[in-house]
Chain A
Amino acid sequence: MSGITRLTGRGCGSVCLPIVMILVAAALWELSPRVFKISPYYFPPLSDVLAEGWRIRTIVLDGIVRTVTETLLGFSAGALFGIACGVLFALVRPLERAVFPLFVVSQTVPVVAFGAIVIIWFGNTIFAKVVIAFYLTFFPVTVNTHAGILACDPQKVALMRSFGAGPAAIFWRLRLPSALPTIAVALRLGISLGLIGAIVGEWFGDTVGLGVMLIQAMYTEAVVRLWLIILCCGVVGAGLYGAVAFVERRLVWWRSDA
């Protein structure tokens, strides 16, 4: 721990080390197919992949915009719905006992089976993908919101009551803020799941999006393009995760127990 902090803490700080690691990984990707004479069919060098990306940059950009839009819509809806459900379940115990098992069952249905139904219901629209992203996002957010609100220190609740606070004041000033660190963890998980949901949703048929391009590249055995899309998915996923983590660090910087 202290060794790592010392390494990263000195000089350029926590930004430098990841950048160095990314450059090392890029160099390995570029050099290993050449050094070990791996056929480009199995593992094309990075420069080929980037060249392909530059050649079809407008399609790639359209795909990224589309998939990110679906992810963000599904994630936002899932986060709001999850927080609302978690709060309701924590405050109304009978509701939790009645509805929560349904939530659990819903999550045991494989997303692929669910995806087919969603496409039948909503057709080949952006809405169908948003629904699948939503479906993967809301559950962890619900669970963590519920747990976070219930974990609130009963002595702090007693303190608020001694000030004459009613249930509403206790919720807004104590229960919700003290659950935020736990909710934030679920949101970081949720954004990654949302991206998966959007990509998988596109497999069921569409014309634009990273998932569509992935399937098409697979069927046409366009290996370089396949790697290009994988790279794009990774970059988009890291970017979305980083954005959520950044916002979280700004808004929810305290630890959940203190």
Chain B
Amino acid sequence: MGTSPATSDDGQELPVIELVNVWKRFGAGSPSEVVAVSGVDLKIRPGEFITLIGPSGCGKSTLFNMIGGLEPCDDDGSILMRGRVQQDGELLGKVAFMPQKDLLFPWRTVVDNAILALEVEGVPVRQARERARAMLPDFGLAGFGDHYPHQLSGGMRQRVALMRTFLFERELILLDEPFGALDALTRAMMQRWLLDVWAEHRRTVLFITHDIDEAIFLGDRVVVMSARPGTIKCSETIDLPRPRDASIVTSPEFMAIKRRLLGAVEEESLKSFEAARADARRVGA
């Protein structure tokens, strides 16, 4: 699993982000305490594309919020960036974070939505717009730069949000179920397109998904999270050759990996489902 203690002495490149025993307890000490994340250890190496999969409510978004600096992790763990421990809020502005919803601003055009982070950084607007316009074709938005979000399809809105994330040039990109709301066909296209963009604008990516095919198709490594309290159950390196095309999902290698992972994922989904039912019974009683 590769969770041995991090050292920079062995000559290896430092991990972009390293999570050491990260916990998140909501309402700690109260009877309604919720342990959302428990004892997560994870090392993300530069340039890696990691997909994180786990049942609904297992703490994936919470983990992301901590890596993005939006919420502190509990005191017994720590988050390191390039080997340096990050204090509360120190990670804000250091990670390109794309939340589950596109969260476009309706009063801004596509280009102006995309440059939001650049504006915050203080890049002159004209220069930022130029950079965004140059990226429009890459993101399948050529000719739509001056459109407003309500004039776009769901897939296009999602690509604008992705463009906004890519323009915020940080080493690590966090993508929280970016394609979760799309139909299967659009979704498959977006996955292939994301790999193309990733190949071109090489970054380190941590990608949340519910979909096991998506996780294997995209990732260098699939990390499976357990039902709540969320912890890392197992992780599997995907050595399918790149560039990957759509037909790879029917190859025997892909199927073999899927079969191995499916067992783990389904067991956890079942657990979280049973837990939800038990909760419902307790509330009902």
Which residues does A use to contact B, with CB under 8 Å? 153, 155-156, 158-165, 169, 173-174, 177-178, 180, 254-255, 258
Within residues 111 to 138 of chain B, which ones have a CB less than 8 A from any CB in chain A? 116-117, 119-121
**Contacting pair B106 A161 (CB below 8 A):** no
**Contacting pair B150 A159 (CB below 8 A):** no
Interface of B is mostly: loop
> Complex formed: what's the CA distance from A16 to B168 in Å?
50
Closest to B70 in A: A158
Write 5 A-B pairs (CB below 8 A) sorted by A numbering: A162-B93, A163-B168, A164-B121, A169-B120, A254-B148
Within residues 52 to 76 of chain B, which ones have a CB less than 8 A from any CB in chain A? 65, 68-70
**Contacting pair B99 A159 (CB below 8 A):** yes
**Contacting pair B97 A162 (CB below 8 A):** yes
> Complex formed: what's the CA distance from A180 to B106 in Å?
12
Closest to B64 in A: A162
Closest to B69 in A: A162
Closest to A153 in B: B103
Q: Tell me which of A156, A162, A180, A258 contacts B92 (CB under 8 A).
A: A162
Q: Tell me which of A153, A155, A163, A180 contacts B120 (CB under 8 A).
A: A163
**Contacting pair B97 A159 (CB below 8 A):** yes
Q: Does B6 contact A (CB under 8 A)?
A: no
Q: Give the size category of B's interface with A.
A: 20 to 34
**Contacting pair A254 B97 (CB below 8 A):** no
Nearest-neighbour CB distance to chain A for B109, whole angstroms, equals: 11
Within residues 89 to 103 of chain B, which ones have a CB less than 8 A from any CB in chain A? 92-95, 97, 99, 101, 103
Q: Tell me which of B69, B97, B103, B117 contacts A156 (CB under 8 A).
A: B103
**Contacting pair A254 B168 (CB below 8 A):** no
> Complex formed: what's the CA distance from A158 to B65 in Å?
9
Known: A164-B120, A254-B150. A156 touches B105 (CB 8 A): yes
A-B contact number at CB 8 A: 54
Q: Does B229 contact A (CB under 8 A)?
A: no
**Contacting pair B116 A164 (CB below 8 A):** no
Which residues does B use to contact A, with CB under 8 Å? 65, 68-70, 92-95, 97, 99, 101, 103, 105-107, 116-117, 119-121, 148-150, 168
> What residues of B have a CB within 8 angstroms of the CB of A162 in the complex?
68-70, 92-93, 95, 97
> Complex formed: what's the CA distance from A158 to B99 in Å?
9
Nearest-neighbour CB distance to chain B for A258, whole angstroms, equals: 4
Closest to A161 in B: B92
> What residues of A have a CB within 8 angstroms of the CB of B105 in the complex?
156, 173-174, 177-178
> What residues of A have a CB within 8 angstroms of the CB of B97 in the complex?
159, 162
Nearest-neighbour CB distance to chain A for B73, whole angstroms, equals: 16
> What residues of A have a CB within 8 angstroms of the CB of B168 in the complex?
163
Known: A158-B99, A161-B70, A164-B93. A173 touches B119 (CB 8 A): yes
**Contacting pair B107 A254 (CB below 8 A):** yes
Q: Which 5 A-B pairs have the closest CB atoms?
A: A164-B93, A162-B97, A254-B106, A163-B117, A258-B106
Closest to A255 in B: B106
> Complex formed: what's the CA distance from A255 to B101 in Å?
18
> What residues of A have a CB within 8 angstroms of the CB of B92 in the complex?
161-162, 164
> What residues of A have a CB within 8 angstroms of the CB of B106 in the complex?
254-255, 258
Known: A163-B93, A164-B93, A258-B149. A155 touches B101 (CB 8 A): yes
**Contacting pair A163 B107 (CB below 8 A):** no
> Complex formed: what's the CA distance from A158 to B121 in Å?
16
> What residues of B have a CB within 8 angstroms of the CB of A169 in the complex?
120
**Contacting pair A155 B107 (CB below 8 A):** no
Nearest-neighbour CB distance to chain A for B30, whole angstroms, equals: 22
Nearest-neighbour CB distance to chain A for B195, whole angstroms, equals: 24
Closest to A252 in B: B107
> Complex formed: what's the CA distance from A158 to B101 in Å?
12
> What residues of B have a CB within 8 angstroms of the CB of A160 in the complex?
116, 120
> Complex formed: what's the CA distance from A236 to B2 in Å?
76
Closest to B100 in A: A155
What 15 new A-B contacts, CB under 8 Å, besides A163-B116, A177-B107?
Answer: A159-B99, A160-B116, A160-B120, A161-B69, A161-B70, A161-B92, A162-B68, A163-B121, A163-B168, A164-B93, A164-B120, A173-B105, A178-B105, A254-B106, A254-B107
